[in-house]
Structure 1
């Protein structure tokens, strides 16, 4: 098992990429703590699947943009499960509309969840990782942070900021034994892409060299590579499984 007896904290873990990653990490031997936002029924389903794999699971509703709440959850995980080995910073949301139509509140919310929440959740687990001389932080960005998108200006800006944050923190963290990397998925079958119109979805698929959207499990496999023993030489990297939407 690649993650035997490690403790993983996953934000946005009840559905989609977060859920797939939680299950894959559990299959590889990790105990899983995850947060979600008012999604208790789906969260308990995910937790039950983790426990069925023989691993411990716990979850809580946490708004990651609330710094105190995020830190309290991280502290609870460390107290009940043990020191956190892996942080999968995945929580996200989006509001699609033309650039000129965004309100200040909408902009602030997108930035708070993606950038502020990710930054301070990493800060909540980082000192203990440094003290132990090891740890892994994986931040979920997006191919839209690499190329942009129509009707997604704040989201694309936030995801680009995550990539910059990942690179910057890596310079500080790697010499202390903590690896920080990012995953920038392309279009994946999740609740976020489910809000697209059929016409927009088909146009997107037609433009992809892969000819399809990705599966959450394919993104989880990328996270497992970064978290596991084969990922030891990835530092400050942004891996982008995106079906050819961005080639770099």
Structure 2
């Protein structure tokens, strides 16, 4: 009984398919935990970034969601505002281009006058053997995940954090720009790859919690790192994967099967 309770996600925090706000939400922390603050979230228009924006906004935070597709961001912003009642500014950005980041940060500061939290969530990934990865594909991953994280952190540091302070949380990225940077490794969010197929094929049986993680659980981890609850935590990596890094074999063929099943499902 205790093991079943531990393995189940918190009530009301399950994620459906697509980028929609949670139909219901039960606050586990005080609703005004981030009241008055502003978060700048790259990759905030979809996936984990979208859920982080929603959870932050449900705790009183205003957000800036940034990615390349302004139309997609505008749609995401409407959903987030309707669900939370907080302000959300969509801005077009390419993290590979520092001038694009600078313009977006300027727009955010003009709108909100402050930025307290940076979530580096923009990422590009290709699930395939290294032998099948093109030179350009590998460069794209490095440019977005590594250089993009550095670029955004550096621009925000120079434009605001150097004089006012701030918190940086990197999602899946491995680079921290300054001492106050924090990292979340979101490796457990495998539910996004393959969905029900992954569960049916028992791909999660080796994970101690016996299931995939969901976007809300990753967002709650980011909420902890961005809040006063972690005021004496810095320069660390919070691994959010249900313990799979301790027990799970790196079965590449199994992961490819899961990915293929997810890729073939209608979106």
For residues 174-222 of structure 1, the C-alpha deviation after alignment (integer angstroms, 9 at most, x for no partner) is xxxxx3100001231565x24x894698353122121111110101101
For residues 18-57 of structure 1, the C-alpha deviation after alignment (integer angstroms, 9 at most, x for no partner) is 111101111111111011232624x334312332322111
Q: Give the whole-Å Cα distance in 2 for the aligned partners of 1:201 and 1:105.
A: 35
Alignment partner, residue 129 of structure 2 = 98
Listed as ranges, the gaps of 5+ residues in structure 2 are: 1-31, 248-267
Alignment partner, residue 188 of structure 1 = 189
Q: Give the whole-Å Cα distance in 2 for the aligned partners of 1:58 and 1:23.
A: 13
User: What is the TM-score when the length of structure 2 is the normalising length?
Assistant: 0.74
SS of equivalent to 2:203: helix
Alignment partner, residue 230 of structure 2 = 231
Matches within 5 A, 1:83-232: 83-127=114-158, 128-132=160-164, 134-141=165-172, 159=173, 162=174, 165-166=175-176, 169-170=178-179, 179-188=180-189, 191=192, 193-194=193-194, 198=197, 202-232=201-231
C-alpha RMSD of the superposition: 2.3
Are 1:68 and 2:99 an aligned pair?
yes
Cα gap change, 1:207 to 1:116, in 2 (>3 Å): same
Q: Give the whole-Å Cα distance in 2 for the aligned partners of 1:201 and 1:70.
A: 42
Task: Note if contact 1:23-1:49 (Cα within 8 Å) is conserved in structure 2.
Answer: no
Q: Give the whole-Å Cα distance in 1 for the aligned partners of 2:166 and 2:234.
A: 12
Cα gap change, 1:44 to 1:243, in 2 (>3 Å): same
The structure with the greater share of residues assigned to helix is: 1
Cα gap change, 1:230 to 1:200, in 2 (>3 Å): closer
Q: Give the whole-Å Cα distance in 2 for the aligned partners of 1:27 and 1:214.
A: 20
Task: Note if contact 1:35-1:62 (Cα within 8 Å) is conserved in structure 2.
Answer: yes
SS of equivalent to 2:168: strand
User: What is the TM-score when the length of structure 1 is the normalising length?
Assistant: 0.79
The number of aligned residues is 214
- Higher RCO by CA contacts (8 Å cutoff, separation 6 or greater): 1
Task: Note if contact 1:32-1:50 (Cα within 8 Å) is conserved in structure 2.
Answer: no
Alignment partner, residue 25 of structure 1 = 56
Larger Rg: 2
Task: Note if contact 1:40-1:61 (Cα within 8 Å) is conserved in structure 2.
Answer: no
Listed as ranges, the gaps of 5+ residues in structure 1 are: 142-158, 171-178
